[in-house]
Amino acid sequence: MTFSAAQIALVVNGKLDGNTSVTVSSFGKIEEAKEGQLTFFANPKYEEFLYTTKASVVIINEAHELKQPVAATLIRVPDAYSAFATLLAKYQEIMQQQLTGIQQPSYIAKTATVGENVFIGAFAYLGERVTIGDNSKIYPNAFIGDNVTVGKNCVVHPGVKIYHSCKIGDNVIIHAGTVIGSDGFGFAPQADGSFKKVPQIGNVVVESNVEIGANATIDRATIGSTLIKSGAKLDNLIQIAHNVEVGHSTVIAAQAGVSGSTKIGDGVMIGGQAGIVGHIQLGDGAKVNAQSGVSKSIEPGKAVTGYPAYDYTSALRSQAAARKLPDLEKRVKELEDLVKQLLAEKV
């Protein structure tokens, strides 16, 4: 597909600077792009490539002042990174619209309901009373268990497993290998030292506009629901335990783990490899630095770091002080020597 600079400018509501009729048919990184490609410039670290790029069209922040002429046609927008993301999303939407129909072999139970313009890939399994909304894509080798609901405009990538009775909202993307609705880690200690399994009879509810990365696991609730609220974004390799609640527009980076029954508020940011104990609350807007171990509740808007995690600003002061310890040790030794010398002189 080929688009002119003028057409692209209309999509991102940008202002053109250069040849309005130049066309592009693909995307490229600013340092590698070729003629006929579109790229963007947002990070100042890449400014040198703005003047050497071979790209035909560059999306750029409207406030950026050029230091020298640029050969490419420029589309100026308030936020180049956001505008480029909009274009990529539109391109992806167009490409996915070409995928419709049911490939064979695949299994769709007679009681399942499949909406319009849906794609079901080869070797996919749709159990009893499954509902798939309009325009959704279920890629090959996906498993959709009994009584699962998948909303409209969803993308379920290859190898995803959604256990029985879970509910997925509209505009949800679930990447390859993710498991939703496996049993929560519930075992009751017995007098003889063994553990008795506690049946996990709840489900997982993923609201609309959520994205879940590859090979993540979201456990079903013991009773009730494990809940991922609308707009949340989960990275790859994340563990969400039973009865956890993840708030609206919260983001969690790769390899983080959240223990059972923890409540995470709206707009929370959790860094990679962070660990969060169970039965605590993270207030709205809280921030957890990467590799932090959170052992108690966090107030709204508070940032924490370290293990155990504590106030981010205090942690930075402690780290600064720790770097001075060798010098402080030297100064203490000098003071000790001076005191000994003064005491010897008095004698």
CATH number at residue 65: 3.40.1390.10
Checking if the pLDDT of 39 tops 70, the result is yes
* Token digits of residue 299: 């107030």
Question: Does a structural domain hold residue 320?
Answer: no
Do 76 and 106 lie in one domain? The reply is: no
Averaged pLDDT, 165-189: 97
Let me know whether 67 and 175 are in one domain. no
SS3 call for 162? strand
Please check whether residue 343 lies inside any domain of the structure. no
198 and 277 fall within a common domain: yes
Percent of the chain with pLDDT over 90: 82
Asked if the model's pLDDT at residue 3 lies above 80, the reply is yes
Summary mean pLDDT of the chain: 94
CA angle 174, 143, 179 (to 5 degrees): 50
State percent of the chain over pLDDT 70. 99
Active site residues: 242
Backbone phi, psi, residue 155, to 5°: -125, 115
The residues near 272 (Cβ < 8 Å, ≥ 6 apart) are: 235, 253, 254, 255, 256, 290, 291
- Nearest by Cα to 101 from 85, 84, 124: 124
The three-state secondary structure class of 113 is strand
Say if CB 186 and CB 200 are below 8 A apart: yes
The 10s digit of each residue's pLDDT in 132-149 is 999 999 999 999 999 999
Residue finishing a domain among 47, 71, 96: 96
110 and 194 share one domain: yes
Sequence-separated (6 or more) residues with CB below 8 Å from residue 251: 232, 233, 234, 235, 268, 269, 270
Same domain, 92 and 105: no
Q: What SS3 state is found at 263?
A: strand
Is residue 302 within 8 A of residue 311, CB to CB? The reply is yes
Would 333 be classed as within a structural domain? no
pLDDT at position 14, please?
A: 94
Q: Which SS3 state, helix, strand or coil, does residue 120 take?
A: strand
Same domain? For 90 and 146 the reply is no
> Average of pLDDT values for 22-45?
94
The whole-angstrom separation of Cα 141 and Cα 190 is 39
**Ordered alpha helix ranges (H), 276-324:** 312-323
Task: Give the residue, 174 or 312, on which the prediction is more confident.
Answer: 174
Strand partners, 27: 38
Is the peptide bond between 308 and the residue preceding it cis, with omega within 30 degrees of 0?
Answer: yes
218 and 309 share a domain? yes
pLDDT value at residue 347: 66
If one counts the domains in the chain, the total is 2
**What is the span of the domain harbouring residue 36?**
3-96
Distance CA 77, CA 186 (A): 51
- 88 with 118, same domain? no
Using CA of residue 266, residue 269, residue 273, residue 279, what is the dihedral sign?
A: negative
CB 156 within 8 A of CB 162: yes
pTM of the model: 0.80
pLDDT digits (tens, 9 = 90+) for 258-314: 999 999 999 999 999 999 999 999 999 999 999 999 999 999 999 999 877 768 777
**CATH at residue 254:** 2.160.10.10
Contact 76, 90 (CB under 8 A): no
SS3 state at 320: helix
pLDDT at 5: 93
Per-residue model confidence (pLDDT) at position 96? 67
**pLDDT at residue 97 in the model:** 67
pLDDT score of 260: 96
